[in-house]
Copies of this chain bind each other. A is one copy, B any other.
Amino acid sequence: MAKALNIDPSTVSRALNDKPGVRPELRRKIKEKAEELGYIVSFQARSLKTKKTMTIGIILSDIKNPFFLDFLDGVEKTLFPRKYKILLATSNENIQKEKTYLTWFMEHGVQGIIIAPTCTKSGKNNLSFFRQIKKNGIPIVFYDRKLESGSLEFDSVTINNYEAIVSAVKYLVVEMGHKKLGLCLTEPLVYTLRERFRGFIDGCKMFNAKYDKKWIITLTKDEKENMKKLKVLFKESGPTAVITTNHLITQYILKATREFNKKIPKDISLIAFDDNIENQIYDPPLTTIKQPVLSLGKNAATIIIGRLDGEDYPPQNIVLNSELVIRNSVKKLKNKK
């Protein structure tokens, strides 16, 4: 390269690495020649010397949930200016797969891990493995969920899941006159969903609403089975309003209303979770618990960068506030006895 241009090799190096001491015109010429020759800085070697891969491992729990678009957007926006790259994985809510990816991440030399930790139906999780990783000097941030038993050991960013649902219940009962409420969840009951469940039960108690065990519906991946389960929502004796706990569940309920030829909010009122753009566009537009998902991503990435910059404060458990966006999917009921 230096030979081709008949220049001193150190000048070439200074020009390509944007270091001072090279005239702009010459720098441009050298860079053009470098492109022409297919010259690319070998970082592989550089990485070996500094032992820094400049990668952060991100584990999603379900790659199909549009929640992660905004989340990844927030993470990327924060990492990019600091030159950190995203190593992306998905656990598909499977703790074995999660562990496999965590192992690969460690073997790869990620400098930090941002993860929505999953668990099995019976509540098993990878906490002991997270502890090992931390012992190995790799910071971990839990987002969306945390592992209760390890929450004081790890950084986390979650939303106020419990309060979000309590507020939704309050709105349904106190403002809109509903007395009979349903809730829709999915398996496995990860931290986030358990908190939302707890908010529902406590909210019903606080505001004297009635719920039936049958009205708390846990959906699985079996679409037919789900439709059967959702039928209870549309019975004469069923709930007058239902709260969903993520975007995909909302779609299921909307599909079910179509299947059973029912209308929202005439036949049942609905509060959705996760404010995707579609929620404003549906007819009627959906009253929705809006999570600050972009902010969730930004906060998680900011904590990791802080740890990598050497910030040494105790583990932080950041809780972001959600918001109840009122639209037209909840019917106002008269106060009947």
Interface residues of A (CB under 8 A from B): 35, 38-44, 46-48, 51, 53-55, 58, 63-66, 68-70, 72-73, 76, 80, 83, 85-90, 97, 101, 103-109, 128-129, 131-133, 135-136, 251, 254-255, 258, 277-278, 280-283
Contact = CB atoms under 8 A, between A and B. Distances in A.
Contacts of A48: 48
A255 B280 contact: yes
A133 B53 CA distance: 20
Given A63-B73, A63-B76, A44 B107 contact: yes
Nearest to A132: B38
Contact of A35 (B86, B108, B128): B128
Given A86-B87, A281-B282, A53 B128 contact: no
Nearest to A294: B64
A42 B107 contact: yes
Copies in the complex: 2
Given A64-B73, A69-B63, A251-B278, A35 B109 contact: no
A43 B73 CA distance: 29
B86 A40 contact: no
A90 B69 contact: no
Contact of A136 (B38, B68, B280): B38
Contact of A38 (B55, B86, B131): B131
Nearest to A263: B283
A280 B86 CA distance: 33
Contacts of A133: 40
A278 B278 contact: yes
A92 to B, nearest CB: 9
A69 B68 contact: yes
A43 B107 contact: yes
A161 B87 CA distance: 31
A200 to B, nearest CB: 24
Nearest to A83: B104
Given A40-B136, A47-B108, A87 B90 contact: no
A273 to B, nearest CB: 15
Nearest to A136: B40
A112 to B, nearest CB: 15
Nearest to A44: B109
